[in-house]
Chain A
Amino acid sequence: MADRPADPAGLVQALEQRAYLADRGLATAMHLAMKLGRPLLLEGDAGVGKTEAARTLAAVLDAELVRLQCHEGLDRSQALYAWDHPRQLLHLRALEASGDRPADHESDLYDERFLLERPLLRALRRGDRAVLLVDEIDRADDEFEAFLLELLSDFQITIPELGTVTAPSRPVVMLTSNRTRELSDALKRRCLYHWIDHPTVEREAAIVRARAPEVPDQVATRVAELVARLRTLGLYKPPGVAETIDWAGVLADVDELDAQGLVDTLGVVVKDHDDLEVVRAAVDELLAS
């Protein structure tokens, strides 16, 4: 295992080496999540880098990122484990062909080799060699939330056919939510919490430079400024950091950004028809600085 950063400042540096610029607050929250063995709940607008934070942390810790994307109706067989039924059937057939009575071998069917590991089980087994990312937990049902809460307090589960699986050590757990519904108080209380804001212009410019080194400095700054202004226009879908990076890449070779150039490339950052209208009407205002 790689050396784990000893304090938030060290974590900021380690993340930065992997081109993720976290502020002190996010780094402190992640640091504490690891030290206290508590899950970290991240909220923030779409595109502020919630998922990326988990991905980069996994890289820093030299751990595997185990991601569980939540959705309505998420169930045990998708989140935890499932049995490989086609292979079990084949096995049955093979037993039959060899003249055995399959009913005598029922326990064989529920052997480790027929078990399909899903994200939660995988993270549990890997322990602290995994970063478990439970993405968009608000999309899952209440029941799943309750189950997750239980899992996150015991870090063990029972598979009836196999027995109990206990995590050798606690994986780092991060949850993200878009706040489509309120999470249960119990879950919130168990978690550390951090709200990720849109980055400041300076930080966003730095992010662009880190992620797209080919982009000249002044373009990065300019694009970050423009995006910051776009976010104040009250768009339906304000651009996220990923859009900023894309846009900077597109504009990397443009010497002087004029109204025409801006309008031509707008589709990279603004992805909604009504929003486009709003931005087109405000182009001159945007460029005047």
Chain B
Amino acid sequence: MHLDAVSDDQDWAVGLATMLRRAGVTVGTGQVIACERALTTLTAADQVDRYWAGRACLVSDPDDLVTYDRVFRAYEGTPVDLQTPATDDPTEDGGVDAGSDAGPPMDPGPTFGDDEVAVAGAVASERERLRHRRFDAMDDEERQDVDRILARLRVAVPRRRSRRTGPGRRGELDLPRTLDRALRSDGELFDRAWRAPRTRPRRFVLVLDVSGSMAGHARAMLRFALAARRTADRELARRVEVFAFGTRLTRLSDALSARDPDAAIAAAARHVVDWDGGTRIGSSIDELVRRWAPRGVLRGSVVVICSDGLERGDPAQLAASMARLRRHAHRILWVNPLAGDDRFVPNQRGMAAALPYVDGLLAGDTLAGLERVADVLAGGSVPSPAAPVPSPVDPGRWLRTVGGDRREGPR
């Protein structure tokens, strides 16, 4: 509409970027400059050109495309006839002021002081007292104590052989290093260097039920995932994925780096839990497999599902999606706080449907329980007898899988 000179291009790009930012899209200054230059490059740019140039330069996430379309329409102020509509968004009409109904507001999140003030001795006794207290029965103070203890929990996952090699005592000849050594001895090959395959930790995928009844436990499990991220093993830290579900599934992994994990989980719960509060485990797992398996997130991973197994949807769908997950994952653990009760029998419709595909069912409803989850996760031994851990449903089955790992044959 108003493109005669360079300064107009500038104004146009800056104006569009400003409105996009107001609508919640992140736009860097470099991108705005690129957009100006793009418009200058496209001589006699028409509306279609402007649309695509703006889109290529200012948007870098497919989730923002709908917003872009809306903002662009509002910005141009005229009906936009595009060759190919990028995204259909029939609910929105043209002239809406984009600023007013902006995208999801950033959750403000109270600041979270990292108060590491625990004294070692105190922690030990505190820990004993807290170890067997159920997460959902804790008061705020206890919760904070538990957070501190959980932050120190050592979390490890099984490792797999990597394609890369590192210095080793045996294996293949390491030519580059051998050559280096040979140079030092005038080209004589006295000392040969070897390399062997390295190992790397498997991906750790945590799938959290954040519906109302699970809130206390989900919170603790999230701390568990954070502990995994904080481990000394940098490779594992990068391989922690967290998903939250209620009636739908959402990915929490990026929120893990947020200052306040509780705010992250609350935001996720608002997003995926409907007012009726029902949990659809089957369709959530299905979505997990459908969206994330093709991207390689689940392949060979260790999956921990944390849910009370009270399925509102069709158990047959849960069984089908679990079977599918089974084929992608290396190992699946189910953490069910209800299993903390000695009288627990996994006969709820959902739990019963999922059980055949699960390698282990654990309670994880107390600190002691989570310690055991960490143990089992690491492929570890039977937990110490001092901890009166509610017995898993079929310990024999789990022990067999821990001992003889059926997927890790010699390759």
Contact = CB atoms under 8 A, between A and B. Distances in A.
Interface of A: 7-8, 23-25, 28-29, 31-32, 35-36, 38, 40-41, 43, 46, 71-73, 75, 83, 85-86, 88-89, 92-93, 95-96, 101-103, 106, 109, 138-139, 142, 178-180, 182, 185, 188-195, 197, 200, 234, 236-237, 274
B83 A28 contact: no
B215 interface: no
Given A25-B55, A29-B52, A36-B37, A46 B294 contact: yes
A28 B52 contact: yes
A189 B30 CA distance: 7
Interface string B58-80: 01111001000000000000000
Contact of A25 (B31, B43, B52, B164): B52
B179 A88 contact: yes
Given A36-B41, A85-B176, A142-B238, A195 B34 contact: no
B277 interface: no
A29 B56 contact: yes
Contact of A24 (B48, B295, B296): B48
A236 B56 contact: no
B165 to A, nearest CB: 10
Q: Top 4 nearest A-B pairs by Cβ distance?
A: A180-B295, A102-B187, A28-B52, A188-B60
Given A28-B52, A200-B84, A92 B38 contact: no
B164 A195 contact: no
Contacts of B242: none
Contacts of B324: 236, 274
Interface in B25-46: 26, 28, 30-31, 34, 37-38, 41-43
Given A88-B179, A103-B186, A73 B62 contact: no
Contacts of A236: 289-290, 293-294, 324
21 contacts: A8-B42, A25-B56, A25-B84, A32-B41, A35-B41, A86-B175, A88-B179, A89-B182, A92-B179, A92-B182, A92-B183, A103-B186, A182-B254, A185-B28, A192-B56, A193-B56, A193-B57, A195-B65, A195-B86, A197-B84, A236-B290
Chain B interface: which size bin?
35 or more
Nearest to B175: A85
Interface string B279-311: 000000000011001111100000000000000
A24 B56 contact: no
Given A43-B62, A236-B293, 17 more contacts: A8-B52, A24-B52, A72-B163, A86-B175, A92-B179, A92-B187, A109-B183, A142-B238, A180-B295, A180-B297, A188-B60, A193-B60, A195-B62, A195-B65, A236-B290, A236-B294, A274-B324
A23 B297 CA distance: 31
B179 A178 contact: no
A194 B56 contact: yes
Interface of B: 26, 28, 30-31, 34, 37-38, 41-43, 48-49, 52-53, 55-57, 59-62, 65, 83-84, 86, 162-164, 175-176, 179, 182-183, 186-187, 238, 254, 289-290, 293-297, 320, 324
A154 to B, nearest CB: 15
Nearest to A102: B187
Contacts of B187: 92-93, 95-96, 102-103
Contacts of B56: 25, 28-29, 32, 40, 192-194
A139 B182 CA distance: 36
Given A92-B182, A102-B183, A41 B42 contact: no
B296 to A, nearest CB: 5
B57 A192 contact: yes
A72 B34 CA distance: 31
A194 B38 CA distance: 14
B173 to A, nearest CB: 10
Given A7-B42, A28-B56, A73 B162 contact: yes
Contacts of A43: 62
B132 to A, nearest CB: 38
Of A41, A75, A180, the most chain B CB neighbours within 10 A belong to A180
A144 to B, nearest CB: 13
Best-surrounded residue of B42, B175, B187, B296 (most CB of chain A within 10 A): B187
A102 B42 CA distance: 59
A85 B38 contact: no
A197 B358 CA distance: 37
Given A35-B41, A102-B186, A89 B175 contact: yes
A25 B297 contact: no
A39 to B, nearest CB: 11
B62 A83 contact: no
A234 B321 CA distance: 14
Given A36-B38, A41-B60, A25 B86 contact: yes
Contacts of A93: 187
